[in-house]
Amino acid sequence: MPTMPGDCREGILRGLYLFRPAGNSTGPRVDILGSGSIMMEALRAQEILLEQYAVEANVWSATSYKTLHRDMLDCARENRLRPEAKERVPFVTEMLPDPDAVVVAASDYVKALPESIAHAVPGRFVTLGTDGFGRSEGRAQLRDFFEVGAEHIAYAVLSELARTGRVGKEKSRQGARPTRHRRRAPRSADAVAELRAFRRLIAWATV
């Protein structure tokens, strides 16, 4: 587990803080939001983008989308009820203010959770999540199945940069879209027996 950067207590409590900033090269610059177990994938995507495609990425840790969303709603309500006062800006907008930015949020939550703050992110906001049911041999295959691994995060960044014209489309093709593996894990004899027993139980319960 990476150590906690200094001066980030407020961000941790408010839902978002800069975990690892981008470097100082002149390449395109993007923002990646990582959460939970996918944080390590976000950090690896940052390395892939820099080393292979000369794209700089800020990696943010999204500690609570619920807190960010609640703050967004509180700001909207206060601005609605007090039109004469100075407009209050959501915390996530303060952290990600660039309307031309490419922001990719990757997590092992359903996409609806990070998308709950999309209204407060001025830039191009892309979410990667684990909607549906996963079938895989292990965690690496599961991340690949849901397209939330480092390669998928990097590809999402390159795709959005190509759509905005900040990198050539040939560069996004270089980061050829990772294939999603759906190979079913081999079943042991015990697993097959348990599955058959479960099917018989379901059949009996629905008679």
At the topology level of CATH, where does 9-205 sit?
Rossmann fold (3.40.50)
CA dihedral 68, 70, 72, 75 (to 10 degrees): -130
Q: Are 72 and 90 in contact (CB under 8 A)?
A: yes
- The residue ranking higher by pLDDT, 46 or 141, is 46
Mean pLDDT for 118-131 is 96
pLDDT of residue 184: 43
> Can you give the pLDDT at residue 195?
58
pLDDT at 132 over 90: no
Over range 23-28, report the average pLDDT: 90
**Predicted pLDDT of residue 153:** 97
| Angstrom distance (rounded) from CA 69 to CA 16 | 11
Residue that wins the pLDDT comparison between 44 and 175: 44
pLDDT band at 199 (very low <50, low <70, confident <90, very high): low
Q: Phi/psi of residue 56, each to 5°?
A: -90, 140
Residue 197 has pLDDT above 80, yes or no: no
pLDDT for the residue numbered 187: 46
Mean per-residue pLDDT over the chain, rounded? 86
Question: For residue 112, what are the contacts with CB-CB under 8 A and spacing of at least 6?
Answer: 129
> Residue 186's pLDDT is what?
44
CA–CA gap between residue 35 and residue 106 (Å, rounded): 7
DSSP state of 129: -
With a cut of 60, say whether residue 96 has pLDDT above it.
yes
**Closest by CA position to 27, among listed 42, 5, 46, 43:** 46
For range 125-129, the mean pLDDT: 97
Distance CA 198, CA 194 (A): 6
Looking at residues 95-121, what average pLDDT do you find?
Answer: 97
pTM: predicted TM-score of the whole model, two decimal places = 0.81
What is the per-residue pLDDT for 185? Answer: 44
The better pLDDT of the pair 135, 189 is held by 135
